[in-house]
Amino acid sequence: MSKEMWFEIHAPPEGKSFEEVKQICQTAEDAGFSLFTLTDHLMNMGDPNGVGNHPLECWTTLAALAAVTKKIKLGTLVTCYAYRRPTILAKMATTVDIISGGRLIFGIGAGWHEEEFKGFMGGFPPKQERVRGLLETVEICKSMFTSERTTYHGRMYTVDNVLNSPQPVQKPIPILIGGAGEKVTLKIAAKHANISHLVTSDLSDLDHKLSILKKHCEDVGRDYNDIRKGAFIRVNTSAPGNSIEDVVDKIDEYKKRGIGLVTFLVTGPHVLSDVQILSKEVLPRFQTHQ
């Protein structure tokens, strides 16, 4: 992959209308960001049983965003493997890639939100089952992204000669594995990911996770440098002590560690102005993927 650093806007969609999400995405595109992502949640993460501030469904929203943007990459950070059957998920991702003209980043993880699993899926599987489901879903989708016909026999999923036509624009669609579970998730990332997005912003923890990922790469015979590594920076310029210089310093630390995707988690009340501030005061200091 390109060694050029990517900068991403991730604005949680809870409580936002489609018009608001569209405006943030288009602002990020106009400001020169590389990627815009949505979470794949079906409930308000902070108050799942409350009556307000629940999100729109992410894949139908991404399809709509693909039709009203031209150059920014679009993705999920991250979709939950379990909420859709792997074959259906691959078809949906393929469709978004086609609508966008080849701009999808397929971000996927094992899922964690117990109330959401219980409410929409009827139960919350144990961790071992969730990471196994993640692995098999990645393997099925990866095959369907590159081959018209896929056959797969796993412990959880069986696919017999399924047809995925038309094929995606990208060959292949980049796969982002979200999560930092050391024994399994990072091993899946080492084997299959184009991007490994590590769920941490603590530098010592990040160093540790990167060393684990590197060891898994060695074990599976993968070049560690072929994988783009991603990490978060929370941005809310209206909050005390959240300065742009702190953001720049953090990016410098990430860059030293080989982080190639910086995700700005924009959470404050002034998302649009924060996106513009980042564009004007941060992006020019670093090489960006335009």
Tens of pLDDT, residue by residue over 215-264, are: 999 999 999 999 999 999 999 888 887 789 999 999 999 999 999 999 99
* Structural domain contains residue 43: yes
Instruction: Calculate ∠ Cα 111-62-201, nearest 5°.
Output: 50
Q: State the chain's mean pLDDT as an integer.
A: 94
* Residue 265 CA from chain centroid, whole number: 12
* Structural domain contains residue 241: yes
| pLDDT value for 9 | 98
Q: Tell me the pLDDT band of 140, cut-offs 50, 70 and 90.
A: very high
In this model, does residue 1 exceed pLDDT 70?
Answer: no
Average pLDDT of the residues in 35-48: 91
Residue 167 tokens, joined: 């094929």
In this model, does residue 289 exceed pLDDT 80?
Answer: no
In this model, does residue 136 exceed pLDDT 70?
Answer: yes
The answer to whether residues 192 and 139 touch, using CB atoms and an 8 Å cutoff, is yes
| pLDDT value for 169 | 98
* Structural domain contains residue 164: yes
Residue 116 tokens, joined: 């959401």
* Structural domain contains residue 1: no
Average pLDDT of the residues in 99-124: 95
Percent over 90 (pLDDT), the chain? 85
Q: How many domains does the chain have?
A: 1
The answer to whether residues 33 and 63 touch, using CB atoms and an 8 Å cutoff, is no
CATH number at residue 186: 3.20.20.30
| pLDDT value for 238 | 82
Q: Tell me the pLDDT band of 53, cut-offs 50, 70 and 90.
A: confident
Q: Which domain holds residue 183?
A: 6-285
Residue 52 tokens, joined: 């307000």
* Structural domain contains residue 290: no
Q: Where are the beta strands (DSSP E) in the chain?
A: 6-10, 35-38, 73-76, 79-80, 104-109, 149-153, 158-163, 175-178, 195-197, 228-235, 259-266
| pLDDT value for 27 | 97
* Residue 111 CA from chain centroid, whole number: 12
| pLDDT value for 61 | 98
Q: Can you give the C-alpha Rg of the chain in angstroms?
A: 18
Sequential DSSP letters for 72-141: SEEEES-EEGGGS-HHHHHHHHHHHHHHHTS-EEEEEE----HHHIIIIISS---HHHHHHHHHHHHHHH
